[in-house]
Amino acid sequence: MYIDTLLSEADWLITEEDYHPEKSQFYETLFTLANGYVGARGSLEQGSQTGSPGTYFAGVYDPTPVFFTELANAPNWLNVKIVANNESIELEKGRILEYKRTLDMKKGLLTQIFRWEGAKGQITRFEDYRLVHLNYKHVALLKGVIVPENYDGPFVVKSGLNGYVFNTGVIEQLLIKHFKLTEYEDREAEGVYLEMKSRLSGISVGEASKLKLSVPSERSVEIDVDKITEVLTFEAKKGQAYEFEKYVTFYTSRDVEDVKFHTLKELNTRVDQGSEVLLREHVSAWEQKWLDADVKIHGDEVAQRSLRFNIFHLIQSANEDDDRVSIPAKALHGEGYRGHIFWDTEIFMLPFFIYTNPRAARSLLMYRYHNLDAARENARIQGYKGAQFPWESADTGLETTPKELGNPLTGETVRIWTGEEEHHIVADVAYAVDHYYVATGDEQFLLKYGAEILLETARFWASRVQYDDRKKAYVIKKVIGPDEFHEHVDNNIYTNYMAKWNISKALEYIDRLKQKHTDSWDKLKKKIVLSSREIREWKTIANNLYLPYDEKTKLYEEFEGYFKLKEIDIS
Amino acid sequence: MYIDTLLSEADWLITEEDYHPEKSQFYETLFTLANGYVGARGSLEQGSQTGSPGTYFAGVYDPTPVFFTELANAPNWLNVKIVANNESIELEKGRILEYKRTLDMKKGLLTQIFRWEGAKGQITRFEDYRLVHLNYKHVALLKGVIVPENYDGPFVVKSGLNGYVFNTGVIEQLLIKHFKLTEYEDREAEGVYLEMKSRLSGISVGEASKLKLSVPSERSVEIDVDKITEVLTFEAKKGQAYEFEKYVTFYTSRDVEDVKFHTLKELNTRVDQGSEVLLREHVSAWEQKWLDADVKIHGDEVAQRSLRFNIFHLIQSANEDDDRVSIPAKALHGEGYRGHIFWDTEIFMLPFFIYTNPRAARSLLMYRYHNLDAARENARIQGYKGAQFPWESADTGLETTPKELGNPLTGETVRIWTGEEEHHIVADVAYAVDHYYVATGDEQFLLKYGAEILLETARFWASRVQYDDRKKAYVIKKVIGPDEFHEHVDNNIYTNYMAKWNISKALEYIDRLKQKHTDSWDKLKKKIVLSSREIREWKTIANNLYLPYDEKTKLYEEFEGYFKLKEIDIS
């Protein structure tokens, strides 16, 4: 009727055809909309008893038990509820006559359509789309129509900013409330404003919203704990379509000093611009992204959609304008891994950005560079030299891997060793720097930042290895490789290979700098206090780093003793 | 105007004269209304950003980290919110022209009066009272008037049952959600219903409510996560007083099998009865309580009010009809000590009930009797005989004292020893049994229950003491006495004295039973397998239990070595 005309061709769409409350959280993750600055899980506008709404701002972490810190769930601005002729529309009750949600990956829109019959036989049609603006990173928009199909009566549309939200999953059954209300205000014609502050990290998040209807209405504002809601009421006539728009803006004290001022100013600007312009600019921003990144598959629509689905979520998750954040393992899509950043970003995600959006790739690497001092501190704590990037990284760049996971109700715990042993991350970051530089030729990045990472990581490895008299080679003991099911192993092939690569590559870059960029080399050498003796040592190590390779079988052993493990038939 | 005419004389009243959001939690505790079955903290009907609403059903515990189990915060039924001519009444905003809350201890009512001016200059007067019914333990009522003093316009009154509530304070910054939604229903003319189940203990709590107005209104129902709200709308005229009533009923699966059926039936019955009758019967039930329990002080109103305040909260906290629950250290007034039961109940609270409401006293002691098997199990776990009542007790009667308290964010922990060492609780329970029997002469209780407690606790002490060759006496080592600032002490005078008393008293009762109640004695002796040899042993111990007494100074030493402790000047 209205929304369907917006949608792109089928091979751009992911669709939820029926409403299954038990699948709420699954679709919330699939349907997350983000722009690298903020992510909003694909929860229902109407709310539900089974969903887990989540709003995460990149870099807005707050300390949490066990996991050190986590992306803090911020006020939920999705909320749009309707009371139609004194009947609240609740998909869990009544009868759903039609239901469809569609993620349009081409345009970066999530749409919802439903027709719902309440207990009194009233049938209401609802259609809307939402967007998290790709250009204006501090803006989101919901827009739709509501049609009372077979009844007249008073219509109430409510649009909330709800800060009564929690992080879940840290400890079973426990919820963590990271944000504390600092201010709320009814700005009348300017909408409503809510500001909260993260309890321990002290980051303020301001959100403003304004609800507009296509017909004149009475306006009031409701307050609940940590929540402010605009309420518009009008007399609806049977069969008529009523349009609503919800403009939302947000800033955090990571971005600006006067959060409230900027949030409200942005809201005024965007409301003045109007939803048509916002939509057009959003869609055209996506168009540009797809021009750079789309991969076409002919003859297999499922594969086409699946590939685009992955590309879509990658594009959404990076923010080229903020080089102090990176992409968490679960991006801005949920609370898994508490929003921490792993090697996945450099090894699995970064290549995509290197070839489609090098500015974003550079930002991701700059996140590591900004945390280089913390990586040095991590190395020092563990008794090594150079820079040791943490297995799990968040805001400070210090190690945030939990030491132990457990159920406090049963007392059962599992010791987690990855933070202490999964050292290959250090070489992975170095590898990413080289990869980026080779692909982009970004000399300025290399000289100012990249080379320092390459050298400090090489230095880490030189301090990490030990000489084995029997093997007459340098070995790396007690690590966890990418196969995390084997802990405390010696000479993991991936780790050793990458360590060797890291040191060798550093030596290569030293040669290049010495030859082509003498000034930079002198400066860097001085900054990190690197002597010729240390460089000679690296060479010796690189040339004699043990790789578990069997000449006869031509096989690399995953780690020492792997081939002697008992075969287990798991079929 | 309306509410003040209800109130008793000044020496029955506790008053909050101004609204200070920062004192919300203080007044919530002072103004808790309860009836031994349920307690509701004195939170504002309108909600607030600073309060901690709490609804606790005696015996409804759910497992929690660190503290084993806790009274689970149940759906909050206090909620009554008003939107007056499109302006939500929020005491935190606008201007408060008048404000007073009064706890009327004589009648068991909490009243609120305020006049509030919103941003548009609209002045609204609100007055109401609430009660948690003392006779009908499954019923609560709010009733009041609202007056738009200087404006006309649409009035919205909202009455919610809100299950989106949490326990706090277990671990700083963490909230625990004990209840999960199982059902909600709009019963239309019959009001609304909400049912939730505690996650691990599996107890269902059903709550129903019905909002009534003195004028015709439009009705709708709002749903939010774990929340259902009745909404009544009408056109209000300047200067007119509009009356509202909110009837609330509740049952748990501890009481009845069909929670929903009973909750709704009770609601219908009480709505039919009407608020006048409910109020009258409630006030007359309180009148009866005060006839039994009031202590009059002449010439000192502060002392009079203070004493009544204590009596009031004691009366509120006992439930003579449920002998499977006892009164937690913080009663049903909050979450301190997680709703656990300590020696405080037997030593400090029970005497009040023994002399004013022996049925309630008997129920409190029966709670211990029902947990006698658990006390036997506690003794077995710690390597003793007989019955060892736990230092902290909850639903199962097993020890629920935390072993360690800590801040998971800083990793700092404090070891808690009371559960392992504060053994005087065992004699305290025995003492309470004797006290009750001596005061009431309740022979049936003694023979069926009390004697068994006295003997099994004596048996515990006989296994707890050890013979000291040097002292030529029985000693009790490594305990915590009532002075909890000294741990692992030997021969604490209170503990030793009470242990001696406990064994001696058991021997006295054995003699009495032998002489007067041969049948009961034979049955009991057989049930607990008590031999003559064991009784002889008890005599030896009782006669030779070491009491740290100094003949010269005529002083009892608190514990061995106490007199040698360094004097500290804390002035």
Pick from A83, A174, A224: which is nearest to B176 by CB?
Answer: A174
Which one from A90, A484, A537, A557 is the annotated catalytic residue?
A484
Tell me the residue type at B228. Answer: I
Q: For B339-381, how does the pLDDT look when each residue is reduced to its tens digit (9 = 90+)?
A: 999 999 999 999 999 999 999 999 999 999 999 999 999 999 9
pLDDT > 70? residue B275: yes
**Cα dihedral A319, A325, A326, A329 sign:** negative
CA distance A272 to chain B (A): 25
Question: Whole-angstrom Cα distance, residue A246 to residue A129?
Answer: 11
Q: For B222-262, how does the pLDDT look when each residue is reduced to its tens digit (9 = 90+)?
A: 998 899 999 999 999 999 999 999 999 999 999 999 999 99
Reference B112, options B222, B6, B265; nearest CA is B6
Question: Whole-angstrom Cα distance, residue B266 to residue B281?
Answer: 16
Residue for token pair 């820079």: A387
Question: Whole-angstrom Cα distance, residue B283 to residue B132?
Answer: 11
Do A414 and A405 touch, CB atoms closer than 8 A? Answer: yes
Count the neighbouring beta carbons within 10 Å of the beta carbon of residue B154. 17
In order of start, what are the domains of chain B with their CATH numbers? 4-291 (2.70.98.40), 341-564 (1.50.10.10)
Q: For B399-432, how does the pLDDT look when each residue is reduced to its tens digit (9 = 90+)?
A: 999 998 876 666 678 899 999 999 999 999 999 9
pLDDT of residue B408: 60
Q: Encoding tokens for residue A529?
A: 């206090």
Question: Whole-angstrom Cα distance, residue A464 to residue A382?
Answer: 10
Do B548 and B557 touch, CB atoms closer than 8 A? Answer: yes
CA distance A458 to chain B (A): 33
- Cα A223 to Cα A186, A210, A510, B74, B235: the distances in Å are 10, 15, 62, 22, 21
Do B142 and B43 touch, CB atoms closer than 8 A? Answer: no
Q: Do B175 and A166 touch (CB under 8 A)?
A: yes
Question: Whole-angstrom Cα distance, residue A318 to residue A325?
Answer: 9
Question: Whole-angstrom Cα distance, residue A531 to residue A157?
Answer: 70
Question: Whole-angstrom Cα distance, residue A205 to residue B36?
Answer: 43
What is the Cα A496 distance to its own chain's centre?
A: 30
Question: Whole-angstrom Cα distance, residue A145 to residue A125?
Answer: 8
Residue for token pair 């780790």: A495
Question: Whole-angstrom Cα distance, residue A505 to residue B331?
Answer: 69
More confident residue, A569 or B451: B451
Residues of chain B with C-beta less than 8 angstroms from the C-beta of A157: none
Size of the A and B interface in Cβ pairs below 8 Å = 99
Reference B19, options B63, B41, B51; nearest CA is B51
Q: Do B174 and A176 touch (CB under 8 A)?
A: yes
Q: Which residues of A touch B (CB under 8 A)?
A: 47-49, 63-66, 81, 83, 86-88, 90, 92-93, 119, 154, 164, 166, 171, 173-178, 181, 186, 199-200, 218-226, 231, 233, 408-409
DSSP B73: P
Question: Please, what is the average pLDDT of chain B?
Answer: 95
Tell me the residue type at B71. Answer: L
Q: Encoding tokens for residue B269?
A: 């019955």
Question: Whole-angstrom Cα distance, residue A247 to residue A211?
Answer: 7
Reference B33, options B50, B55, B52, B18; nearest CA is B55
CA gyration radius, chain B: 27
Question: Whole-angstrom Cα distance, residue B404 to residue B408?
Answer: 11
pLDDT of residue B550: 84
Q: Is A484 a catalytic residue?
A: yes
Residues of chain B with C-beta less than 8 angstroms from the C-beta of A225: 47-49
pLDDT of residue A410: 65
Rounded average pLDDT over B421-444: 98
Reference A451, options A502, A391, A524, A522; nearest CA is A524
Write the CB contacts of B385 (distance below 8 Å, at least 6 apart in sequence).
Answer: B379, B459, B460, B462, B463
Q: Do A221 and B87 touch (CB under 8 A)?
A: yes
CA distance A194 to chain B (A): 13
Residues of chain A with C-beta less than 8 angstroms from the C-beta of B195: none
Q: Encoding tokens for residue B110?
A: 């909490």
Residues of chain B with C-beta less than 8 angstroms from the C-beta of A65: 171, 174, 408-409
**DSSP-assigned states of every residue in A25-73:** HHHHHHT-EE-SSEEE----TT--SS----EEETT-EEEETTTEEEEPP
CA gyration radius, chain A: 27
pLDDT of residue B409: 60
- Spell out the per-residue pLDDT of chain A, length 571, in tens: 578 889 999 999 999 999 999 999 999 999 999 999 999 999 999 998 899 999 999 999 999 888 999 999 999 999 999 999 988 899 988 999 999 999 999 999 999 999 999 988 999 999 999 999 999 999 999 999 999 999 999 999 999 999 999 999 887 777 889 999 999 999 999 999 999 999 989 999 999 999 999 999 999 999 988 999 999 999 999 999 999 999 999 999 999 999 999 999 999 999 999 999 999 999 999 999 999 999 999 999 999 999 999 999 999 999 999 999 999 999 999 999 999 999 999 999 999 999 999 999 999 999 999 999 999 999 999 999 999 999 999 999 999 999 988 766 666 788 999 999 999 999 999 999 999 999 999 999 999 999 999 999 999 999 999 999 999 999 999 999 999 999 999 999 999 999 999 999 999 999 999 999 999 999 999 999 999 999 999 999 999 999 999 888 899 999 999 999 998 888 7
Residues of chain A with C-beta less than 8 angstroms from the C-beta of B176: 173-175
- Cα A493 to Cα A387, A468, A485, A559: the distances in Å are 21, 16, 15, 6
The ipTM is 0.73
Residues of chain B with C-beta less than 8 angstroms from the C-beta of A93: 186, 223
First-to-last alpha carbon distance for chain B, in angstroms, is 51
Q: Which residues of B touch A (CB under 8 A)?
A: 47-49, 63-66, 81, 83, 86-88, 90, 92-93, 119, 154, 164, 166, 171, 173-178, 181, 186, 199-200, 218-226, 231, 233, 408-409
Question: Whole-angstrom Cα distance, residue A558 to residue A565?
Answer: 11
Q: Do B173 and A200 touch (CB under 8 A)?
A: yes
Which one from B117, B484, B487, B508 is the annotated catalytic residue?
B484
pLDDT of residue A534: 97
Q: Encoding tokens for residue B286?
A: 């309180």
- Cα A251 to Cα A75, A139, A207: the distances in Å are 12, 9, 7
Reference A465, options A476, A478, A473; nearest CA is A476
Tell me the residue type at B299. Answer: G
* Window from A163-172, B119-128, B456-465, B559-568 with minimum mean pLDDT: A163-172
Q: Do B175 and A171 touch (CB under 8 A)?
A: no
H/E stretch holding B413 reads: strand B412-415
Q: Which of B225, B227, B235, B404 to mutate to test the interface with A (most CBs of A within 10 A)?
A: B225
Q: For B22-42, how does the pLDDT look when each residue is reduced to its tens digit (9 = 90+)?
A: 999 999 999 999 999 999 999
- Cα B86 to Cα B156, B222, B244: the distances in Å are 8, 17, 19
Beta bridge partners of A404: A415
pLDDT of residue B109: 98
